Structure 1
Amino acid sequence: MKKLFTLGTLCILIYACNSNTSENKATDSGTATEQAASSPNTADYDPNRGQGKFDKVDVGSQLDAAMATEGETIANLKCASCHKYSDEKLVGPGWKGVSERRQPEWIMNFITNPDAMLDQDPALQAQLELCLVRMPNQNLTDDDARKILEFMRKNDGVK
């Protein structure tokens, strides 16, 4: 009886795995085709602004403290499970110095459009090889992304 139960359980697991795999393959191949058709040529990619709708982000010379505080709250909720605010890697890279290394447009485009950026940005692809995990799209609003950018600036010492 125990052998029959084990055999039945094994058959159910094999069936469940095979049916999910074939559904996922069909979905994945369609998604890859759609992405290839809609993605711009990598040669047209601007590494200073990234890929997305932000062409110019005016951050000013002074920190907006209220915006940075709100950005920290959002980052603690949406980002801190994968990123440390130091230079230490967690799942993703640490945030220390990111606002000094990257243009505000690039940061805003990456926060709001990570899939396209990961597909085209050579530096992000190299980072992906180190972290082994793609940044998920957190579906942040433009306003939330701007607040996170301001928190990143505060984290990097802008006053």
Structure 2
Amino acid sequence: MKKLMVFCLIALFMYACSSNNTESKNAESASSEASSPASTDAGSYDEHRGEGKFKDVQIGTALDKDLAAKGKLVADVKCASCHKLTDEKLVGPGWKGVTERRKPEWVMNFVTNPDAMLDKDPALQAQLELCLVRMPNQNISDEEARQVFEYMRQNDGVK
């Protein structure tokens, strides 16, 4: 039974990684080539905010249970095949404590824009050496990113 579950997880992971279409990859390549001069400027990358559209995300001190519940649904479909809720690595690193170590902007920029972040963030590049697998772009919307972040906060014990 365990072998079947492992096989299913691997198959799901491979499907998720291969679901990006060629057009979006070509568009991403073209846009990254166009922005390559900026990527060589190490001073333009904000390691606390990351690379992306989220600049100043306002998070309340209390957990938004509705957002967290929606985030769990998104995470179950798009994240759980690679990430555990503990600090244990599966394919990618575990989620425990991530909202205590990272700002909301960084997490939300990473889940919506993983390729650019992996190319520029030194901490992510070091993590990639440990995990050996780049996080695939799961096409998470801005709204879903906020929901997943709230679910991560719930996982970290925010009430």
* Distance in 2 (alpha carbons) for counterparts of 1:29 and 1:50: 23
Equivalent pairs, count = 133
1:123-151 deviation digits (Å, cap 9, x = unpaired): 00000000010001111110011000000
* Distance in 2 (alpha carbons) for counterparts of 1:138 and 1:38: 22
By how many angstroms is 1:30 displaced?
A: 10
Alignment match, 1:49: 49
Two-structure CA RMSD over aligned residues (Å): 2.0
Alignment match, 1:65: 65
Alignment match, 1:127: 127
* Distance in 1 (alpha carbons) for counterparts of 2:43 and 2:133: 24
* Distance in 2 (alpha carbons) for counterparts of 1:86 and 1:43: 33
* Distance in 2 (alpha carbons) for counterparts of 1:48 and 1:155: 21
By how many angstroms is 1:38 displaced?
A: 1.6
5+ long unaligned stretches in structure 2: 1-24
If the length of structure 1 is used for normalisation, what is the TM-score?
Answer: 0.78
Alignment match, 1:38: 35
Alignment match, 1:153: 153
Which letter maps to 2:50? G
- 4+ residue segments displaced more than 2 Å: 28-37, 39-43
By how many angstroms is 1:44 displaced?
A: 1.1
Alignment match, 1:84: 84
By how many angstroms is 1:33 displaced?
A: 6.9
- Cα gap change, 1:34 to 1:89, in 2 (>3 Å): same
If the length of structure 2 is used for normalisation, what is the TM-score?
Answer: 0.78
* Distance in 2 (alpha carbons) for counterparts of 1:32 and 1:112: 16
- Cα gap change, 1:79 to 1:36, in 2 (>3 Å): same
What is the identity percentage for the equivalent residue pairs of Structure 1 and Structure 2?
63
5+ long unaligned stretches in structure 1: 1-27
Which letter maps to 1:125? Q
By how many angstroms is 1:59 displaced?
A: 1.0
* Distance in 2 (alpha carbons) for counterparts of 1:74 and 1:30: 25
- Cα gap change, 1:38 to 1:148, in 2 (>3 Å): same
Alignment match, 1:114: 114
- Cα gap change, 1:71 to 1:34, in 2 (>3 Å): closer
